[in-house]
Amino acid sequence: GIQVEQSPPDLILQEGANSTLRCNFSDSVNNLQWFHQNPWGQLINLFYIPSGTKQNGRLSATTVATERYSLLYISSSQTTDSGVYFCANAAGNKLTFGGGTRVLVKP
Amino acid sequence: DAGITQSPRHKVTETGTPVTLRCHQTENHRYMYWYRQDPGHGLRLIHYSYGVKDTDKGEVSDGYSVSRSKTEDFLLTLESATSSQTSVYFCAISGTGLGNTIYFGEGSWLTVV
C-alpha cells in the first residue's frame, strides 16, 4: 500500500518562529488532508488540499501532486499550535495517515 | 465544529466482555468511519460505512463488528474484548467519502483489563 512519511518527527519552536512540515508519498497523491491533534487528543481538520496552495490564518499548505509531497507552513507560531500534525492521503476508501510531526511551541 | 458525538468517552472493561461504542452525527453525512489510534501505529481504519446498512472492512477489522441502521448512528462492537483492543477509538464522517473533508469525533478511550 501507499507509504506516507512525515518529517521532521519532532519539532521544538520558540513562540513567534516559523516552520515547515513535510509529507512525502510513495504513490499518487489523492484527496490529501492535514490534521492537527491537540494535547487533549482532539483531531481537527486543517486543510483538504489535493493540489495547489491554501491559507487559513497563520497556517498554509501546498501540495505538489506530481512530485508526491505536501508542505504545511506555520507562521508566527503560538503555544496553541502545539500538538501532533498528521497528513493523510486517500486511496479508494482508505485514508492512510503519516506517522505525524510532534510540535512543541515554547513561550 | 462538525456535529459528532461519541459515547462513552471513557470506559474500562474486562477481557471477554462485549463493548459497544456509539457515534452519532447531526450533519446527515453519508460516510462514517471508525479508526483506532495506538502509539507506533498511528491511525488505522477498522470499518467504514457508505450508507445505511452499507458497511465494509478496514485494515484492522478482526474482532470488531459494526452496524448502521440510521444515517446518524454508527455503532462499533467489540464482540469479546481483549487487552490488544485497549486503544483510543475515533469516529469520523465525510459527506462524499474521502474526496472531501473528513471530520473526527472527540475519541473514546477504552481500556480492557
Record: contact A41-B100, CB cut-off 8 A: no
Please give the grid coordinates belonging to residue A46. 486543517
pLDDT recorded at residue B97: 58
What is residue B1's predicted lDDT score, i.e. its pLDDT? 58
| Contact residues on chain B for A30, CB-CB shorter than 8 A | 98-99
Q: Answer yes or no: is pLDDT of A57 > 60.
A: yes
Q: How close B31 gets to chain A, by Cα (Å)?
A: 10
Residues 6+ apart with CB under 8 A from B106: A41, A42, B4, B6, B9
* Residue-level pLDDT at B101: 82
Higher pLDDT, B21 or A90: B21
Most confident of A67-76, A87-96, B95-104: A67-76
Cα–Cα nearest to A103, from A82, A74, A75: A82
More confident residue, A98 or B110: B110
Number of Cβ pairs < 8 A linking chain A and chain B? 47
- pLDDT tops 90 at residue A6: yes
List the beta strands (DSSP E) in chain B. Answer: 4-7, 10-13, 19-25, 31-38, 42-51, 54-57, 64-70, 73-78, 87-94, 102-104, 108-112
Give the whole-angstrom CA distance, residue A57 versus residue B91: 27
Q: Between B99 and A81, where is the model more confident?
A: A81
Query: Mind listing the pLDDT tens digit for each residue in B65-101?
Result: 999 999 999 999 999 999 999 999 999 998 765 567 8
Q: What is the pLDDT of residue A96?
A: 83
Chain A residues within 8 A of B58 when measuring between CB atoms: 94
Structure confidence at residue A102 (pLDDT): 96
The residues, any chain, with a CB within 8 Å of residue B21's CB and separated by 6 or more, are: B6, B7, B8, B34, B75, B76, B77, B89, B91, B108, B110
Distance from the Cα of B16 to chain A's closest Cα (Å) equals 27
- What would the pLDDT profile of B25-63 be if each residue is shown by its tens digit? 998 998 899 999 998 778 899 999 989 999 999 989 999
Q: Are strands B42-51 and B31-38 parallel, antiparallel or unpaired?
A: antiparallel
Q: Is the separation of the CB atoms in A23 and A71 below 8 Å?
A: yes
Higher local confidence (pLDDT), B76 or A28? B76
Q: Which chain A residues have a beta carbon less than 8 Å from that of B102? A: 33, 45, 95
